[in-house]
Amino acid sequence: MASESPDTRHMSQQLVREGIAAARAGDVEAARRLLRRATELDETNVDAWLWRSTLTDNLADKKAYLEQVLALDPEHEEARAALQKVLEREGALAERATGAPLYCTVHPERETVLRCNRCGRPMCTECAVRHPVGLRCRECVRATRSPVYDVPLHQVALALAVSTVAGAVGALVAMMVAGIFWFLLFFVSPAIGGAVAAAVERAVPRKRGRPLQVATVTGIVLGLLVLGVGFGLVGGSPVRGLLSVALNIFLWMYVVLAAATATARLR
């Protein structure tokens, strides 16, 4: 039985992140393996079950995974819509057994032998989109985008605020390290970037993708500039303080390394 300790849940979420990255890179087998392990560790991991449903061509498995999502979250609209399409596909496949000719759903004048491997609707070669798990119609390609990547504006703003504060603290640490021995920044900066990304993950749970990446990188840069202005205010010249950090090559090296790590973690 899956453990429900915080460490186990965290490990499960990490496996989901790795599985999503593998799926986006086209390594479907690795993604399936990682996501299966994630559900073994935490049977309540909704994202893992949802992604497993998108990476299988077996209708029975897809249906079971989606039903598991709905059992955990009865209000999950994406899973409900996907399950409805699975049921429609089962009906379409039963109809196909009659041997009747197929015509593209979008271009009804075109006879075809292709069906979307997610919803089962007939489609011509123009409408078919190559997906990591086979050919799909354009509607299903859009529909299978995980809600993990749909980040509303208020959460992007929250991520920016959190990363700016965390970035200012990180910039202070980087400045102190650079004052001792700048080469240590190659080791410290990625750790700071990971810590900033972790703060964003805690503030905006179960979300990731480009909007959070941009907000976090922007926050890291703003954190450095805020630190410079703060030092300037203490010294009586905000502009001089801002310039002191803006012209410090070692601090920008920290920004690049920290931003790269944060971006990779929030992919």
Whether 1 is covered by a domain: the verdict is no
Which range, 60-64, 116-120, 171-175, has the best average confidence (pLDDT)? 171-175
What is the average pLDDT across 81-107? 73
CATH number of the domain bearing residue 40: 1.25.40.10
Q: Which of 93, 123, 148 is the last residue of a domain?
A: 148
Segment 69-82, tens digit of pLDDT: 999 999 898 888 88
137 and 82 in a common domain: yes
Domain span at residue 48? 6-148
143 and 160 in a common domain: no
Whether 169 is covered by a domain: the verdict is yes
What is the average pLDDT across 124-143? 78
What is the average pLDDT across 179-201? 93
Adjacent-strand bridge partners of 111 = 103
Pure H helices in the chain: 6-24, 28-41, 46-54, 59-72, 77-96, 138-143, 153-180, 185-203, 210-235, 238-246, 249-265
Q: What pLDDT is attached to residue 3? A: 44
157 and 144 in a common domain: no
What helix, strand, coil percent values describe the chain, rounded to 5? 70, 5, 25
Residue 2, pLDDT > 50, answer no
162 and 130 in a common domain: no
What is the average pLDDT across 195-223? 92
175 and 56 in a common domain: no
135 and 49 in a common domain: yes
118 and 188 in a common domain: no
What is the average pLDDT across 136-143? 75
Segment 9-18, tens digit of pLDDT: 888 889 999 9
Tokens of residue 168, six digits: 């200012």
* Banded pLDDT at 252 (limits 50, 70, 90): very high
37 and 131 in a common domain: yes
Tokens of residue 59, six digits: 């209708």
Q: What pLDDT is attached to residue 141? A: 73
* Banded pLDDT at 1 (limits 50, 70, 90): very low
Tokens of residue 122, six digits: 């007939």
* Banded pLDDT at 92 (limits 50, 70, 90): low
Question: 204, 148 in Cβ contact below 8 A?
Answer: no
218 and 119 in a common domain: no
136 and 21 in a common domain: yes
More confident of the two residues 194 and 146: 194
Whether 163 is covered by a domain: the verdict is yes
Q: What pLDDT is attached to residue 153? A: 92
Residue 53, pLDDT > 80, answer yes
Q: What pLDDT is attached to residue 59? A: 75
133 and 12 in a common domain: yes
Segment 161-182, tens digit of pLDDT: 999 999 999 999 999 999 889 8
Residue 15: which of 30, 32, 37 has the closest Cα?
37
Q: Which of 53-67, 78-92, 173-187, 253-267 has the lowest mean pLDDT?
A: 78-92
pTM above 0.75, yes or no: no
Question: 175, 255 in Cβ contact below 8 A?
Answer: no
Tokens of residue 50, six digits: 């949802």
Number of structural domains found in the chain: 2
